[in-house]
């Protein structure tokens, strides 16, 4: 790509695209009108801080004139101008350093806008009321969840903010709190009670079919690993002598079925998680049962993954989410007392709550969980119930005056 040389004015200031300075010192702004015809605007000053040359009339500086030109152009171009989808596409094009999972999220939103009528509307026509009514429509008429709409709005809001900052629109119509418009129907990922965790694991251990997943389920319930971290574990990450699990990567698979390795978003994501004796046994059992494929799969230079699918490729989050879903369905079809929804993230939340219930120091628990902010860890403590705190309170107040 050819680099455009930097142009400066007579005072050494960098000129923007379309700006220039004539030999007599006068500034100009070159642009195309709505019909594509080249036009010019002139001023004796570049910014509001400049004074016009002696004998020249004072007037708006060039930068102010540019803003007005952009506003006027947009006002006239709006009926046939940029659509919501085009705006989002331009916004996404500026996000060159995002993670693959984030880029996949952008693509999902763009695909939805390409199908929905709202994506073809002109950005200059969208009011705050339009934006709110559309989001309500997504929830009430299309049945989209609060979290799904939150993701869509999470792309549109910064995209329209970019348009506002570039003076393409007067005001960002999505600049409002989502909770003031929609009903938050998100189901909280509640931690399992100790009784329910035990019931589930006992069922898995004794089931003829799902017992093959017992070790992995037990590890997830007793290490707090994210499912992508668990899938990314390799033989070299397990230190049985010191009883530790090295967590330094996550294994992901995109919608195009391409595998890739992601590093933790923050430094706190890289950590060593202690192994209990039972967790050690589970890892050793996994290694013992692991089949040696003809060729070890390699993803971004990483090999030796612990758990492989029938094609000899590393298992990813989708596999384990399905295993939990099917095994839970079988349990609930057999027993009258059903268990609540269980996912890999519920396992993580259950572990965190279990450690908090047992009195682990929040700072230590933050390290084990790989939380970037201790407030996330503290939120676990606020989820503790009456029975969790009853014993401690009675013990601390026993004999108090």
pLDDT in tens, 243-260: 999 999 999 988 778 899
Under 8 Å CB-to-CB from 93, ≥6 apart: which residues?
none
In angstroms, rounded to a whole number, what is the distance separating the alpha carbons of residues 17 and 34? Answer: 18
Active-site residue, from 28, 272, 367, 381: 381
Contact 234, 290 (CB under 8 A): no
Torsion of CA 136, 140, 142, 148, to 10 degrees: 60
Is the pLDDT at 71 greater than 80, yes or no?
A: no
Segment (H or E) for 40: strand 38-43
In angstroms, rounded to a whole number, what is the distance separating the alpha carbons of residues 85 and 116? Answer: 10
In angstroms, rounded to a whole number, what is the distance separating the alpha carbons of residues 222 and 206? Answer: 19
**Domain 194-385: assigned CATH number:** 1.10.443.10
In angstroms, rounded to a whole number, what is the distance separating the alpha carbons of residues 155 and 339? Answer: 36
Q: Which of 388, 61, 340, 66 is nearest to 191 (CA)?
A: 340
Contact 234, 228 (CB under 8 A): no
Rg (CA), the chain: 29
In angstroms, rounded to a whole number, what is the distance separating the alpha carbons of residues 198 and 215? Answer: 14
In angstroms, rounded to a whole number, what is the distance separating the alpha carbons of residues 323 and 227? Answer: 13
Q: Return left, alpha or beta for 290; rule: phi > 0 is left, psi -120 to 50 is alpha, else beta.
A: beta
Active-site residue, from 144, 249, 271, 348: 348
Active-site residue, from 144, 153, 226, 366: 226
Report residue 14 as tokens.
């960098």
69 vs 367, higher pLDDT = 367
Is 378 one of the catalytic residues?
no
Contact 183, 190 (CB under 8 A): no
Is 290 one of the catalytic residues?
no
Torsion of CA 362, 367, 372, 373, to 10 degrees: 10
Q: Can you give the pLDDT at residue 360? A: 86
91-180 is a CATH 1.10.150 domain: yes
**Domain 19-79: assigned CATH number:** 3.30.160.60
Q: Which of 306, 189, 310 is nearest to 251 (CA)?
A: 306
In angstroms, rounded to a whole number, what is the distance separating the alpha carbons of residues 21 and 11? Answer: 11
Active-site residue, from 67, 107, 209, 265: 265
pLDDT in tens, 190-216: 789 999 999 999 999 999 999 999 999
pLDDT in tens, 1-48: 344 456 889 988 888 888 999 999 999 999 887 677 888 999 999 998
Ranges of each domain in the chain: 19-79, 91-180, 194-385
Is 331 one of the catalytic residues?
no
Q: Can you give the pLDDT at residue 330? A: 97
Is 371 one of the catalytic residues?
yes
pLDDT in tens, 269-326: 899 999 999 999 999 999 999 988 889 999 999 999 999 999 999 999 999 999 999 9
Under 8 Å CB-to-CB from 362, ≥6 apart: which residues?
356, 374, 377, 378, 381
Under 8 Å CB-to-CB from 187, ≥6 apart: which residues?
341
Active-site residue, from 132, 280, 345, 383: 345
Is 381 one of the catalytic residues?
yes
Q: Which range has the worst mean pLDDT, 31-40, 103-112, 127-136?
A: 31-40
257 vs 187, higher pLDDT = 257
Mean pLDDT of 87-103: 82
């Amino acid at each position: 790509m050819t680099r455009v040389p930097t142009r400066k004015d007579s005072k050494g200031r960098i000129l923007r695209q379309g700006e220039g300075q004539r030999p007599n010192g006068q500034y100009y702004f070159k642009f195309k009108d709505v019909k594509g015809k080249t036009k010019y605007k002139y001023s004796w000053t570049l910014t509001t801080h400049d004074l016009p040359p002696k004998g020249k009339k004072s007037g708006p500086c060039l930068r102010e004139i540019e803003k007005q030109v952009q506003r006027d152009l947009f006002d006239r171009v709006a009926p046939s101008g940029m659509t919501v989808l085009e705006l989002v596409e331009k916004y996404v094009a500026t996000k060159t350093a995002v993670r693959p999972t984030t880029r996949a999220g952008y693509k999902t939103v763009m695909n939805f806008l390409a199908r929905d009528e709202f994506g073809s509307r002109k950005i200059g026509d969208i009011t705050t009321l339009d934006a709110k009514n559309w989001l309500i429509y997504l929830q009430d008429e299309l049945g989209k969840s609060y979290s799904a709409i939150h993701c869509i709005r999470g792309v549109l809001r910064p995209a329209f903010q970019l348009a506002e900052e570039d003076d393409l629109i007067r005001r960002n119509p999505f600049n409002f709190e989502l909770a003031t418009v929609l009903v938050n129907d998100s189901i909280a990922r509640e931690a399992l009670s100790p009784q329910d965790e035990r019931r589930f694991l006992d069922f898995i251990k004794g089931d003829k079919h799902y017992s093959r997943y017992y070790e992995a389920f037990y590890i997830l319930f007793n290490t707090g690993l994210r499912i992508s971290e668990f899938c990314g574990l390799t033989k070299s990450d397990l230190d049985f002598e010191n009883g530790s699990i090295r967590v330094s990567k996550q294994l992901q698979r995109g919608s195009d079925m391409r595998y890739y390795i992601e590093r933790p978003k923050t430094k706190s994501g890289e950590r060593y998680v202690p192994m209990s004796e039972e967790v050690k046994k589970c890892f050793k059992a996994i290694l013992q049962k692991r089949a040696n494929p003809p060729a070890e799969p390699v993803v971004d230079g990483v090999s030796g993954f612990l758990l492989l699918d029938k094609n000899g490729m590393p298992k990813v989050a989708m596999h384990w989410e399905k295993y939990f879903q099917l095994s839970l369905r079988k349990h609930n079809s057999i027993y009258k007392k059903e268990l609540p929804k269980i996912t890999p993230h519920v396992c993580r939340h259950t572990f965190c709550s279990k450690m908090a219930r047992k009195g682990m120091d929040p700072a230590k628990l933050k390290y084990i969980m790989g939380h970037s902010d201790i407030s996330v860890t503290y939120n676990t403590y606020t989820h503790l119930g009456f029975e969790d705190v009853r014993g401690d309170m009675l013990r601390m107040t026993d004999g108090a005056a």
